[in-house]
Amino acid sequence: MKIYGVIGWKNAGKTSLMERLVAEFTARGYTVSTIKHVHHDVDLDQPGKDSHRHRAAGANEVILAGAHRFALMVEHRAGEPPLAQVIARLAPVDLVLIEGYKRDSHPKIEVWRAEAGHDLIQAGDPTIRAVACDSALPPLDVPRLDLNDTGQIADFIAADIGLCLPRNGQKLV
């Protein structure tokens, strides 16, 4: 599996870009999974529900399974697991897109918008391979991509990680 990250400060447009990239890569015939890092507690459960009771009783993992999807909840009693451990839980796909985990060592694109009011992260991070923005920037050590050109960004990612022809033989990037 190839992995690539999308990072940036709050309100820069990371989630919108992730959504567009997933649609773009799947339209090209690739299988894609995503990981989203959050800084708050994640809980799909509700006190009193059977699955919550399972967790409260000490279950390490609880799966909520239905006709169209299932959700796996894993208790991290020893603290947040490293990204590699989270990735290892995924079923094999062509590409894993990661939103967040800005300090990890995988290749990334930084999403930047002047309106968000933050400095670029890229200057101090060699894992950032390009900056996607919708305004002019001073000269950078990495390519500047048009944040509104999803195809260009997908092409850059595919070339950067050597994403090969999908198994179903659809379009090359």
* CATH number of the domain encompassing residue 35: 3.40.50.300
Residue 165: pLDDT above 80? no
6 near 69, Cβ under 8 Å?
no
Would 122 be classed as within a structural domain? Answer: yes
Domain-located, residue 155: yes
- Name the more confident of 17 and 52: 17
**Is 62 a domain residue?**
no
Residue recorded with tokens 């990890």: 104
Q: What is the pLDDT of residue 98?
A: 97
Our count of domains for the chain comes to 1
Say if strands 2-7 and 61-65 run parallel, antiparallel, or are unpaired.
unpaired
Report the candidate in 9, 17, 8, 13 with the shortest Cα–Cα distance to residue 97: 17
Percentage with pLDDT > 70 across the chain: 91
Residue 57 lies in a domain: no
Q: Strand locations in the chain, DSSP E?
A: 2-7, 32-36, 61-65, 70-74, 95-99, 108-112, 128-133, 144-146
Query: What is the average per-residue pLDDT within 55-72?
Result: 87
In a domain, 13, yes or no: yes
State mean pLDDT over 145-149.
97
Quote the pLDDT of residue 40.
59
37 is in which domain, residue-wise? Answer: 2-41+80-161
Query: 45 or 49: whose pLDDT is higher?
Result: 49
Alpha-carbon separation of residue 29 from 18, 19, 172 (angstroms): 17, 16, 9
Residue 52 is assigned to a structural domain of this protein:
no
Average pLDDT, the chain: 89
CA distances from 50 to 55, 62, 74, 151 (A): 9, 10, 15, 44
Largest Cα–Cα distance of the chain, in whole Å? Answer: 56
Res. 173: pLDDT tops 50: no
